[in-house]
């Protein structure tokens, strides 16, 4: 599932391609929206909210989509309709065409009612107002469930929005925290949340999640995807195990020496 920085970058590229121009094509290939017609309406803006995408159009309407595991939006020059069974949405103007493939969720909402779709989310790690109190809100939401394993809590989008399995593993390694540590036992929880924000913010404008500072292929991560291989810091074998999340089990990665169990 794409992390919050990938969704943020997708929103920016959709905004650049569509915002400020009327739609010449707006086709929904999902049964409940088959008759929806947004042609002629101007796209006002495209924003991300955690892992959700909101395309706001003239007339107080919002196209809400979620990529889930396999979805993606592609930006192409304006042209013929794509012939691909995976396509769920096509939005185009005279210059660009945005094609949503394998989207896990597509719905058309009134903009005034967006909270029905995303109001349950915790503070967005890439919200422009992060430094205005959202960090403290995210910490408070995590602390509401003190006995919950921190690795599980970080993936709960109602606590804070945007972290996926990559950043969960990397943030916990960098803070020296075992994935099954109860939230109440995490040393300096605000610092852990702030590190998550900094990592997503540093990666939001590029492809890939680099947490080591090394852009070389295969050297981007400390422990994520490195089970059975030596820890980059101490040489201990990196472990892995399934850990629950709000969207099913995910694999936790950790170094037993750098992240000792408490």
Give per-residue pLDDT as tens, 195-251: 999 999 999 998 889 999 998 888 999 999 999 999 999 999 999 999 988 777 899
- Asked if the model's pLDDT at residue 254 lies above 80, the reply is yes
Catalytic residues: 2-3, 51, 250
pLDDT attached to residue 249: 86
Residues 171-191: tens digit of each pLDDT: 999 999 999 999 999 999 999
For residue 53, the cross-strand partners are 48, 65
Residues 55-82: tens digit of each pLDDT: 999 999 999 999 988 999 999 999 998 8
pLDDT attached to residue 49: 97
How many Å apart are CA 145 and CA 150, to the nearest integer? 10
Structure tokens at 146: 């003190």
Instruction: Write down the mean pLDDT value for the chain.
Output: 95
Query: Helix, strand or coil for residue 59?
Result: coil
> Long-range contact list for 145-148, CB < 8 A, 24+ apart?
145/183, 146/182, 146/183, 146/184, 147/182, 147/183, 147/184, 148/182, 148/183
How many Å apart are CA 231 and CA 92, to the nearest integer? 47
- Rounded to 5°, the CA angle 96-5-247 comes to 110
Q: Identify the band that residue 1 occupies on the pLDDT scale cut at 50, 70 and 90.
A: low
For 97-107, what is the mean pLDDT? 96
How many Å apart are CA 246 and CA 38, to the nearest integer? 34
Say how far residue 77 (Cα) sits from the centre of its chain: 26
Structure tokens at 109: 């909402």
pLDDT attached to residue 130: 93
CB neighbours of residue 114 within 10 Å: 17
Say what the pTM is: 0.94
pLDDT attached to residue 257: 98
């Amino acid at each position: 599932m794409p992390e919050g920085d990938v969704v943020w970058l997708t929103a920016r590229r959709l905004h650049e391609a569509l915002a400020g121009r009327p739609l010449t094509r707006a086709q929904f290939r999902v049964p409940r929206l088959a008759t929806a017609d947004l042609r002629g309406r101007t796209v006002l803006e495209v924003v991300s909210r955690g892992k959700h995408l909101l395309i706001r159009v003239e007339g107080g309407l919002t196209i809400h989509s979620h990529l889930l595991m396999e979805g993606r939006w592609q930006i192409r020059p304006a042209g013929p309709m794509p012939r691909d069974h995976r396509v769920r949405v096509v939005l185009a103007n005279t210059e660009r065409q945005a094609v949503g493939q394998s989207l896990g969720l597509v719905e058309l909402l009134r903009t005034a009612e967006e909270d029905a779709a995303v109001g349950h989310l915790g503070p967005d790690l890439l919200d422009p107002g992060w430094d205005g109190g959202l960090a403290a809100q995210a910490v408070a939401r995590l602390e509401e469930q003190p006995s919950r394993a921190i690795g599980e809590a970080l993936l709960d989008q109602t606590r804070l929005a945007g972290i996926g399995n990559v950043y969960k593993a990397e943030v916990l390694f960098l803070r020296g925290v075992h994935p099954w540590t109860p939230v109440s036992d995490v040393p300096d929880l605000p610092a852990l949340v702030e590190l998550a924000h900094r990592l997503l913010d540093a990666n939001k404008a590029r492809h890939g999640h680099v947490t080591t500072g090394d852009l070389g292929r295969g050297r981007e991560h400390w422990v994520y995807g490195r089970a059975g291989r030596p820890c980059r810091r101490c040489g201990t074998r990196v472990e892995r195990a399934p850990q629950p999340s709000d969207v099913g089990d995910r694999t936790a990665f950790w170094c037993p020496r750098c992240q000792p169990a408490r």
